[in-house]
Amino acid sequence: MKSKILSIIFCLSTSFPTLYAQGKPFAIEHGPYLQGLTENGVTIVWTTNRKAISWIELAPDDSTHFYLTERPRTYAESFGFKMVDSLHMVTLKGLKQNTTYRYRIYSQEVLSHVGTKVTYGEVAASNVYRSRPLKFTTANPGKKEMNFLVLNDIHGNNELMETLLKGTDWKKTDLVFFNGDMTNDIRSEEQLFGDFLDKAVELFARETPMYYARGNHETRGNFATTFPKYFPAPGGQLYYLFRQGPVCFLVLDCGEDKPDSDLEYSGIVAFDRYRDQQAEWLKNAVKQKEFLDAPYRVVIIHMTPFGGWHGEQEIEQKFIPLLNSADIDVMLCGHLHRYIHRKAGNGINFPVIANANRAVIKAAANQQQLVIEVVDAEGKTLDTLKISPEK
């Protein structure tokens, strides 16, 4: 489904016939959606139907009209160039924490680049005239309360995602995790957006940040290697740590479930070495101040550290010993398509929740407790877990 963002097309220097010379008018196709939001930055991602340079205009969240004045621009840039692509990501840095900003996305088509001459085409932008400008709020480690949701194993079922998120109060929801297997595999950009991302944009992702923990199905398909380009996390890896309010989240990238040599992977994966690399990162991550200072420490990872398959065993052997000595409060997983709540024990020092594929985790943290509620597609609460903060 195409983005419902209305695109405004400005004919800058060309006439009407040129506008249609390449078929459809130049337009924003998918997005925008927020990625890697932290205390002082965020990356905003969208696509256009043809290659372009892109930028964001940013305005404070005051009562002024967006058109009051020229708003400062930040371009999508790399190695000193404005990026020319159909996938656009603008990283805003140096923002104030706990601050709401209004934003507008722009792309200008690049018709040709011959020698030193670049020819530009039309500009497409999100609407700030008939619609209110889009907004985001930077993270705030001092925030007393925060709320988050976790979805997993949707496997391309947009209707199910919509059902699970129905009734969500987005004003009170700080962030959403996609905890893996949102699709069966990744074969093209169109499929990626069609399977779940357009629906996420429609429901929340333009203004509420979504953080991804890759599942073992996002590693499959010929387009899977491009996954990191669409989901730029804090730190530039698919495993990362960030803080919002009283919670520090450790997001881990589980890899595949079978041995790397399995027939199904055609010799193209190296997840054992990748999990070694993550374990090295994890050793230092759990020593960081933002992690140590957090009243709650929550691990997000798609596969469970139990189940008997190779990937699960790797998680148990490579990650659990490090997490066991890091005062983790809870680990949130998916993958098994049924609900499991394992209390601390059997070599794991914290509870592990495996959320079902037809349920959503709704969590609320304040100074007194972290409450994790698991709610199924019929709205029935399957389980509630209450955790006290670190002393």
User: Based on CB atoms, which residue is closest to Fe ion, 19 or 340?
Assistant: 340
- Closest residue by beta carbon to Fe ion: 335
Helix extents (H) in the chain = 16-19, 158-165, 189-192, 198-200, 227-230, 271-285, 289-292, 310-318, 320-324
Q: Which is nearer to Fe ion, 174 or 218 (CB)?
A: 218
Q: Which helix (H) or strand (E) covers residue 101, if one does?
A: strand 100-114
Residue in the block written with tokens 């924003």:
28
Q: How far is the CB of 116 from Fe ion (least distance, A)?
A: 49
Closest to Fe ion by CB, 29 vs 153, is 153
Joined together, the tokens standing for residue 249 give: 């989240």
Q: Which structure tokens are listed for 30?
A: 């998918």
One of 181, 198, 218, 256 touching Fe ion (CB under 5 A): 181
Q: Please, which residue, 135 or 155, has the CB nearer to Fe ion?
A: 155
Q: How far is the CB of 181 from Fe ion (least distance, A)?
A: 4
Q: How far apart are CA 106 and CA 127, in angstroms?
A: 10
Binder among 36, 121, 209, 215 for Fe ion (CB under 5 A) = 215
Quickly tell me which residue has 């996938």 as its tokens: 87
What is the closest distance, in whole angstroms, from the C-beta atom of residue 59 to Fe ion in the complex?
41
**Choice from 216, 219, 278, 357 touching Fe ion (CB under 5 A):** 216
CB 242 within 8 A of CB 249: yes
User: Could you give the 3-state DSSP secondary structure of residue 280?
Assistant: helix
d(CA 210, CA 201): 10
Range in contact with Fe ion (rule: CB under 5 A) among 9-17, 19-27, 69-77, 211-219? 211-219
* Interactions with Fe ion, residue window 298-337 (CB under 5 A): 335
Alpha-carbon torsion (5, 195, 220, 256), positive or negative:
positive
| 253 scored as a contact of Fe ion (CB under 5 A) | no
Write down the least CB distance from residue 254 to Fe ion, Å: 8
Residue 307 and residue 309: Cα distance in Å, rounded? 6
Q: How far is the CB of 217 from Fe ion (least distance, A)?
A: 6
CB 152 to Fe ion: min, Å? 8
Provide the binding-site residues for Fe ion, judged by CB under 5 A.
181, 215-216, 335
